[in-house]
Every structure is written in C-alpha cells, then in structure tokens.
Amino acid sequence: MEQANVVIIGGGVVGTAIAWELSGRTDDIFLLEQAPKLGMATSSRNSGVVHSGIYYPPEYLKARLCVEGNILVKEFCAAHGVPHNNCGKLVVAAKEADIPELEKIMQNGIVNGVQGLRMVGRERIKEREPHIAAVAALEVPSTGIVAAEELVKTFARVASERGANILTNARVVSLDARGGAIAVGIEVGDPAEPDSLMREVVEARCVVNSAGLYADEVAALLGNKSYRIYPVRGEYAELVRSKANMVNALVYPLPHHDRLSLGVHLTRTLWDTVLIGPTARYVKEKNDYESDRQPLEDFWKGALALLPEVKLEDMRLAYSGIRPKLVPPDGHGMADFVITRDPNCPQAIHLVGIESPGLTSAPAIARLVAKMVAETLD
C-alpha cells in the first residue's frame, strides 16, 4: 500500500494552494482531482476578482482570510508571473436612498481591516467610469482581477516542482479510518473507458477534503453527514468587443439583501472583455451549467441600472459557473467557510462551502490548513 503524509482531495484553486503551501513544509503529498484538468469547476468559472473583504461579518473566517488572501494572492502572482491587475472597484448607489447602505458597507470594511476605502461622488465616478450612472460610490482600491486558471496552474506547478504528486482523473471512492491514518481508495482513469480504470489505496496520515462542490459527499465517505452543498448557478453575459470601452475596471451594485450574491456586476477582464454577471439561481445538479439558461434580455435589463447607454445588441451570452452554497433555497443570510477537523476522525480536515471569496482567500486558507496539518503530523 502506498504511504503518504497528506492526501488533498480536490484540485481547484484552494486545493492547489494547499499543495503549494504544504510542499514547502513536508514531503509525500498527493493531490487528487477527479476531472481531466485542474480547476475546471468553480475555480475557473467565475469573475476572477481579487476581493477586498468589505462585505463579510467581522467574526467570519471569510473576512479575515479574504483580507489576508488579498495581499498574499497578489504577492504570489507578482513572484510567479501570474497575470493580474490591481484595478480597484466602485460599489455604486443608484439613488440617494442607497447611500446609507453604502456607508454601512464601508464601515464594515474598515472594521475588517480593508485599507483605502472612501466615499466618492459623481465627479469621481465620471472620472473613473464615464458611462456609469450613480449618485455616489464606495471606492475600493485593493480590489483587483486575476487570471484564475493561470493561478491554479501555477500553484500546482510550483507544488509539483517541490515534490508534490498531482494526479488528475483520480476519483476518491472510499475513506476508511484506520487507527492513526486514513486509507484512501482511488479510482484512476477516464470513466468513459471502464476497461482502463485502475484502483489503488493510499494510506495517509492526514486527508484534506477540498473537494468544492463535492466536499459534502467526500465528508460522507467518512460517515460525516453534517454538511450539504446546495449548487447555485451564476450565469454571465458580456459586451461585444466594440463596446468594451464602456467599462474601465470593476463596477458593483449594492449586494442582494438576502446575501445570495454580490449582485450582477461589470468586470473588465485581463483580456479586455467586459463580463456582466453573475446571476444567482439554485439548481438541482452540481454539473448543470447549461439547462434553461437565462435569456440575454434579462442581463440587458439588469445592466441598464448601471450602464444606461447599453443596448441589447451590444451584448451576448457568455459562460456559467456553480457556487457551493451552504444556505438552502429557503434560507437567508450568508454562511461562513467551514474549515474544521472531522469530529470522529481528526486526521481529516474538511473545507466546506468554500465559495466567494474562496479564490482570493486561497493562499490564506492554505496557511491555516497547513498549521492544522502540521499538528496532525507531529
């Protein structure tokens, strides 16, 4: 039986960041990703925004890890040549009655330790974003954008160069606690070719469940049925190339009152396209990216509130992504990240509900998990 110090389940941005962080501290690390490529799900199907940490309750892990991760992810990108841009963003108030809510967000951000926040008026809005309609805005200089797929690849590349073993098309089919270790049953190969599939078992001193949309199912392999992931699909449209100059950076409305999402926003990407989205809708399946897509007219109506000059013919449908929500469809409010040991098997560390700001928080989550792993291996 193969032996390992750490098995990381899930090769998204958080899993690869953990592999990177741990690879500088210990050896015999295996990262297992069930898809043919790393970061194919939530990690690369998003806006690519490096969040500041203004929205989250101060007592939440999301607040602390986002503010810390905002710095760490930029440092990593600069050190390893990952494309990124610290462009800043505006959170806008469409009418005077919205300004108090905007001020509350600013105060929350200050409590969370976000630097450089300031309220601005029409003149500054027009200076930054001439085509945006708003009476006031919160200027957030620490927000940026990153090439999310490249970030995942680079975390994995550096981890691999340090000796971590990274396997794709590797599905975890069983977890069996055995004294001070966990036997990880793995199926390797393309499920479309059953004859090519191989099964093996790796005995790990520590298992990190970073399986994203499937983290609840991985926890259940250990008999832990405490968690349930509710998939929420976010869909995007984009401006046609000839109209991309209507948006210079990032523009957000006030977030949804139910905190299901931060609202349909405008993102100028590193490739000089402009995304409009994401929407937020509960779906039944964790891989349902395309059924019953929203019509382009819905995006247009939403975009008009921010960008009154935009016309329907200026837009086209783009991709979609799925968030791993912990709040059920009939629930309200925002759930925090869950980063905890399994109560019946302390060698297992579960990361559940790692949605936005998971991309930003990834290197900070990795630091936290690395400390927990070190305690396990000691």
pLDDT tens digits, the chain, 378 residues: what are they?
Answer: 789 999 999 999 999 999 999 998 999 999 999 999 999 999 999 999 999 999 999 999 999 999 999 999 999 999 999 999 999 999 999 999 999 999 999 999 999 999 999 999 999 999 999 999 999 999 999 999 999 999 999 999 999 999 999 999 999 999 999 989 999 999 999 998 999 899 999 999 999 999 999 999 999 999 999 999 999 999 999 999 999 999 999 999 998 776 667 778 999 999 999 999 999 999 999 999 999 999 999 999 999 999 999 999 999 999 999 999 999 999 988 999 999 999 999 999 999 999 999 999 999 999 999 999 999 999
Angle, in degrees to the nearest 10, between helices 148-161 and 13-23: 30
Task: Provide the 10 A C-beta neighbour count for residue 298.
Answer: 14
Rounded Cα distance, 104 and 92, in Å: 13
Q: Are 365 and 66 in contact (CB under 8 A)?
A: no
Cα dihedral sign, 344-346-348-353:
positive
What is the SS3 string spanning 117-167? CEEECHHHHHHHCCCCCCCEEEEECCCEEECHHHHHHHHHHHHHHCCCEEE
Supply φ then ψ for residue 40, to 5 degrees: -80, -20
User: At 239, which amino acid appears?
Assistant: L
CA–chain centroid gap for 154, Å, is 16
The full set of domains in the chain, from first to last, is 2-45+149-228+334-377 (3.50.50.60), 86-142+230-325 (3.30.9.10)
337, 212 in Cβ contact below 8 A? no
Stated length of the chain: 378
pLDDT digits (tens, 9 = 90+) for 270-324: 999 999 999 999 999 999 999 999 999 999 999 999 999 999 999 999 999 999 9
> Burial of 162 by CB count in 10 Å (0-12 exposed, 13-18 middle, 19+ buried)?
middle
For 225-257, b/e burial (b = at least 16 CB within 10 A) is eebebbbbbbbbbbbeeebbebbbbbbbbbbee
261-270 residue pLDDT tens: 777 899 999 9
Read off the amino acid at residue 21.
E
Write down the pTM of the prediction: 0.97
Helix axes 61-80, 99-112, angle to 10 degrees: 70
Is residue 196 classed exposed, middle or buried when 0-12, 13-18 and 19+ CB atoms within 10 A define those classes? exposed
Cα–Cα distance measured from residue 213 to residue 133, given in angstroms and rounded to the nearest whole number:
36
Whole-number Å distance between alpha carbons of 184 and 282: 32
53 vs 374: CA distance, rounded Å: 27
